[in-house]
Chain A
Amino acid sequence: MEIKDIIKPENLIYTKTKNMTDKPLSYCPGCGHGTAHNITMEVVEEMGITEDTIGVAPVGCSVLAYEFMNIDMTQAAHGRAPAVATGIKRVYPDKFVFTYQGDGDLAAIGGNETLHACNRGENIVIIFVNNGIYGMTGGQMAPTTLDGMKTSTSPYGREIETMGSPLKMTELIAQLPGVYYVTRQAVHTPQAVRKAKKAIRKAFEIQRDKKGLAFVEIVSNCNSGWKMEPVKANEWMVEHMFPYFPIGDIKVNGKLK
Chain B
Amino acid sequence: MADIKLMKGNEAIAEAAIRAGCDAYFGYPITPQSEVIEYLMMERPEDRTGMVVLQAESEIAAINMVYGAAGAGKKAMTSSSSPGISLKQEGISYIAGSELPAVIVNVVRGGPGLGTIQPSQADYFQTTKGGGHGDYRMYVLAPASVQEMVDFVDDAFEIAFKYRNPVMILSDGIIGQMMEKVELPPQKPRLSDKEIEERYGDWATIGKRKNRERNIITSLDLDPYKQEAHNHKLQEKYRLMQENELRYEMIDCDDADYIIVAYGSSARISQKAMNLAREKGYKVGIFRLITLFPFPSKPLNELAGRVKGFLAVEMSSGQMIEDVKLAIEGKAKAEHFGRYGGVVHSPEEVLEALENQIIKG
Residues of A within 8 A of B91 (CB): 77, 80
What's the Cα separation between A87 and B76 when bound, in Å? 9
Among A64, A73, A112, point to the contact of B217 (Cβ < 8 A).
Answer: A73
- Please encode chain B, from 201 to 214, with 1 for each CB lying within 8 Å of some chain A CB and 0 for all others: 00001111110001
| Chain A: CB-nearest residue to B95 | A77
Contact with A along B61-76 (1 / 0, CB 8 A): 1101111111110101
Chain A contact surface mostly: helix
Assuming A63-B220, A66-B216, A92-B206, is B67 touching A76 (CB within 8 A)?
yes
B77 CB to closest chain A CB (Å) equals 11
From A88, which residue of chain B is reached at the shortest CB distance?
B68
* Distance in Å: Cβ of A17 to nearest Cβ of chain B: 13
Do residues B68 and A84 form an inter-chain contact, with CB atoms below 8 A?
yes
B207 touches A72 (CB 8 A): yes
> What residues on A are CB-neighbors of B66 within 8 Å?
87
> Is there a chain B Cβ closer than 8 Å to A75's Cβ?
yes
Residues of B within 8 A of A75 (CB): 98, 216-220
B289 part of interface (Cβ distance < 8 Å): no
Q: Nearest chain A CB to B45's CB is how many angstroms away?
A: 13
* Cα distance A66–B208 in the bound complex, in angstroms: 12
* A95→B206 contact, CB < 8 A: yes
CB pair B61 A80 closer than 8 Å: yes
Most chain-A CB neighbours within 10 Å: which of B67, B210, B215? B67
> Is A70 among interface residues, defined by CB-CB distance under 8 A?
yes
Q: Cβ of A214: which chain B residues have Cβ within 8 Å of it?
A: none
Q: State which of B51-59, B176-184, B280-288 sits at the interface with chain A.
A: B51-59
Contacts of A107 in B (CB 8 A): none
Q: Which residue of A lies closest to B216 (CB)?
A: A66
- Name the A residues within 8 Å of B62 (CB-CB): 83
The answer to whether B217 touches A90, judged by C-beta atoms less than 8 angstroms apart, is no
Closest beta carbon of chain A to B270's beta carbon, Å: 39
CB of A171 within 8 Å of the partner chain: no
* Given A74-B217, A75-B220, CB of A84 within 8 Å of CB of B205: no
**Cβ-based interface call for B348 (8 A):** no
Are A91's CB and B72's CB within 8 A? yes
A53, A74, A89, A91: which contacts B218 (Cβ < 8 A)? A74
Q: Which residue in A51, A71, A113 is a CB contact (below 8 Å) of B57?
A: A113
A87/B65 contact (C-beta < 8 A), A74-B218, A92-B72 known: yes
A72 in contact with B68 given A83-B61, A112-B57, A113-B61 (CB within 8 Å): no
In the complex, the answer to whether B64 meets A84 with C-beta atoms within 8 Å is yes
Query: Whole-angstrom distance from the CB of A67 to the nearest CB of chain B?
Result: 8
B23 contacts A by Cβ under 8 Å: yes
Most chain B C-beta atoms within 10 Å of own C-beta, residue among A73, A80, A84 = A84
Q: How far is the CA of A113 from the CA of B58 in the complex (A)?
A: 9
Chain A positions within 8 Å of B220 at CB level: 63-64, 75
Top 7 closest A-B pairs, CB basis? Answer: A87-B68, A87-B65, A83-B64, A116-B57, A75-B218, A84-B68, A72-B205
Contacts A56-B68, A86-B61 known; 20 new A-B pairs at CB < 8 A: A54-B205, A66-B216, A72-B208, A72-B215, A73-B205, A73-B216, A74-B216, A75-B218, A76-B68, A77-B90, A87-B26, A87-B64, A87-B70, A87-B76, A90-B69, A91-B52, A112-B58, A112-B60, A113-B57, A116-B61
A-B contact pairs, 13 of them (CB 8 A): A51-B208, A51-B209, A51-B210, A53-B207, A53-B208, A71-B207, A76-B67, A83-B67, A84-B68, A86-B54, A86-B61, A87-B72, A95-B206
